[in-house]
Structure 1
């Protein structure tokens, strides 16, 4: 079995409404009740340029129509909002001239897969120097209505006529844990565990996981490197207990691996954080999970694949690895 004896921080789980309000340090106002009712952005949506400094693209996981009817003509508009600001959904700044024409989409869970939105460096070079957060609006051509929006986890920075994607943040101060800080509680920390401010390298054997207790669905990790805030959520994400008996106490860990988990039996890296999860009854799943917390320790400089790891407390009080899931994007720490 795979044991974890170095689990660092027990954090407070916040309400999903708080997570939505703080997404990517952008506060979206003027949200109608129809937003995200029938259409959903799923998977990882991110900016890349494949080494080409003139052409950029946003590649998305999928866009799903959960209504019971075929859509009208769908398209995506792209905006670049100044990071850490409040913006009106119907008056977003810095619209890119080109948009992505998608067409009609049948309902009842039908999806567009591998959606791509392209733009050029010249579209950004007219903006003032600073940091920007990309926002996609899903619209219908015929009605002009906004169906949903997506705030990307990527950030774009303009510095001295250079365009930087996910600028590395250096010399970041760790947040202080105090009694008044509701995002990091120390009252449940086991004194036998490692210091919550010290990263510890470890190896994980992931060969025998994802059997009776599983992480299922579209999980997503978002990190604000400026405030060191972390959001774990997703669409149709759940933890499923397929066993005939209830689980013990659970912990959900974000692990920064040196390797992608695809096709390997063992990985090594650092735990970034973990959260308490309540026991799950037999043949039951808990759905639509959203967590938010802050980071109290920084892993060493390097490139890491974020992995979600679910562990369960056994009879000896040790946490046994039960399920792993790749969170897709590679992170660079420096």
Structure 2
């Protein structure tokens, strides 16, 4: 190998910048040329490529988001778009491609792998739903952001003796809601993977008030229900003063946590080494805290589910 490309795709995640930094500096250390591809697969098709040097990734380890930018690319979902991407990489002399992203980004990388480009994926999504590994880059920071908000909301909930519904991100995965709900002492946690009844939530709130509780926090993943609708239901069926806070995209931003910086640095460097070893169509991963790689087919078959025992623990501790 002489030259590798690196791109970030799909939703941004805190830790992508430290990961790209590790790719660039490890590749240069190994004697490779590195090309940064801006705006994900869209930038690949448009030829938005930039040679990277050591200084190109200076002063980004503490920055959230992705300095390479990211974008959705419907064109790359087609065979024609994938062929164009392959031809662009061939034209630029890029022997391997490292892709930071989630499931959709990896599926694009697999297509390039099947066309003959050496590809390695790096799991980067705040949803933490990419399985076959210990953790996804960005999740730890997103949970910490949610916890900081919940702690502040609880202060005002206590002052006004109110019930608050806090909606966090997670359209199809409840990992953020579960972790933030447990760590934040939420009275109820609602996630898309576990069916629930709002009348049960209401009954639990009433039991709490009966024993003297003055405020409550309900954490709901966006895929489990709309915070506004849940808040209105609670207020109508309890008479409790209820407020709703939707954290939204604030969870994507901010400086990555130390854990995310370390994970991203390890996985980014490991992805380069995997390419040099001739491995392709794999995801760089840590399993039991050890560096390894997992074929994309296994990754696609192992969607991460929230831990039921942790969910039950959150319910027990909130009674």
TM-score by length of 2: 0.27
More strand by share: 1
* Higher RCO, Cα 8 Å, sep 6+: 2
**TM-score, normalised via structure 1 length:** 0.26
Pair member with larger Rg: 2
